[in-house]
Amino acid sequence: MRIPIPYWTLLLLALLGATARAEPLRELADFAGVRDNLLVGYGLVVGLDGSGDQTMQTPFTTQSLTNMFSQLGITIPQGTNMQLRNVAGVMVTAELPPFARPGQRIDVVVSSIGNARSLRGGTLLMTPLKGMDGLTYAVGQGNLLVGGAGAEAGGSSVQINQQAGGRIPGGALVERQVPLELGAGGGSLELHLREADFGTARRVVLAINAEFGLPVAEALDAGVIRLHGPAGHNDRVDFMARVESVRVTPVEPPARVVLNARSGSVVLNGRVTLGPAAVAHGNLSVVIDTQFGVSQPAPFGDGRTVVVPDSDITVRQQMGALQFVEGADLMEVVDALNALGATPQDLMSILEALKAAGSLRAELEIL
């Protein structure tokens, strides 16, 4: 019977099956050019209930309002101090999906860049969303959906989740299409593997050629497959659909251990093994105990009463005996590491030492 994983299970186990299963090619690769495009824009959110920017500390909000008013034919006298607490300057981001056409709607994310306390109840005014080339591809506008909530009274406050950002489902209208020509130049297409691997590339080529009964695929390197498809638009779409549905069994990834020093998590995949090694583990703790005493002068003396701290520092070290570790499969590795009784933070140091000693047969990746 296997020993259950103990309470410190920040040791996450990414269990990969002993035998890899076949997956549709759409899960392993993407056609060149078929991708999302990032959009960004600066805008104003209005209609806030006194929770907007403090315009004295965020001059860009006041400048944006002045520019907007001038475009609407409203002139603001110079030197006017607009104390508007219902407006906030925001950044608006969106992802333009491939093949998006003018008139389609996409979701947008709105985030405050000033000192606004909350965007709840606000309305985003018309905001151009631009791409890397500086051209406007969409225009966002609408009422924000903010998932957070908060309340304050009498100097006390409470807040649930984030209130300085929100979403507008379907809040942007696509105005420009990203040009995309699939199969331009003789009907040649490229398939990019998400995880470059020579073995997987070979299997993809064999599976596609077996599907069509012709040598339509060839591997350019470990991550790119060239396809010779038909020239007609309808035939090309049918060809790409058949390619995406081809099932391929990818090569199993190499043994890898991922250490996240910020969260203290450790992830092992199913190919990690341990060679014979002896490990000694112990903890060092420092305890500082401070007691406060009172020093009082003699009666009718000139001194005064003072508080005197008395600190006692103790260093304690938990002794650790050498323990033998070895594991030929993932569960044996888990049992061996559990036997050390180490915390996740200590386990990171132990795994690094095992790697340096040549006992850990896996790649170490530190996040």
The domain that holds 191 is classified in CATH as 3.90.1150
Determine, yes or no, domain membership for 17: no
Looking at per-residue confidence, does 332 or 284 come out higher? 332
- The per-residue DSSP string of 30-53 comes to EETT---EEEEEEEEEE--SS-S-
Comparing C-alpha atoms, which of 339, 195, 194, 354 is closest to residue 272?
354
Comparing C-alpha atoms, which of 123, 95, 103 is closest to residue 173?
103
Structural domain count of the chain: 3
Looking at per-residue confidence, does 319 or 310 come out higher? 310
> For residue range 114-167, what is the model confidence (pLDDT) as tens digits?
888 888 889 999 999 999 999 999 999 999 998 866 665 555 566 666 788 899
Tokens of 26: 């759409």
User: Do 166 and 260 reside in the same domain of the chain?
Assistant: no
Query: Which of 46-50, 60-64, 284-288, 318-322 is predicted least confidently?
Result: 284-288
Last residue of a domain, one of 207, 228, 248: 248
Q: What angle do CA 221, 223, 226 make, to 5 degrees?
A: 70
Pairing of strands 105-112, 165-174: antiparallel
Comparing C-alpha atoms, which of 364, 363, 345 is closest to residue 261?
345
Comparing C-alpha atoms, which of 166, 165, 148 is closest to residue 157?
148
> For residue range 20-48, what is the model confidence (pLDDT) as tens digits?
578 899 999 999 888 899 999 999 999 88
Looking at per-residue confidence, does 183 or 179 come out higher? 179
User: Do 117 and 81 reside in the same domain of the chain?
Assistant: yes
Determine, yes or no, domain membership for 6: no
Determine, yes or no, domain membership for 293: yes
Rounded-to-10 torsion of CA 223, 228, 234, 235: -120
Beta carbons of 105 and 172 less than 8 angstroms apart: yes
The model's pTM is 0.69
pLDDT confidence tier of residue 325, bands split at 50, 70 and 90:
confident
> Does the pLDDT value for residue 207 go beyond 60?
yes
Rounded to whole angstroms, how far apart are CA atoms 331 and 325?
13
Mean pLDDT in residue range 186-205:
89
User: Do 49 and 137 reside in the same domain of the chain?
Assistant: yes
Mean pLDDT in residue range 309-315:
65
Structural domain range at position 207? 23-34+181-248
Determine, yes or no, domain membership for 163: yes
Rounded to whole angstroms, how far apart are CA atoms 202 and 59?
58
Mean pLDDT in residue range 317-342:
73
pLDDT at 289: 65
User: Do 65 and 167 reside in the same domain of the chain?
Assistant: yes
Spell 47-66 as b/e; 16+ CB within 10 A means b.
bbeebbbebeebeebbebbe
pLDDT at 286: 53
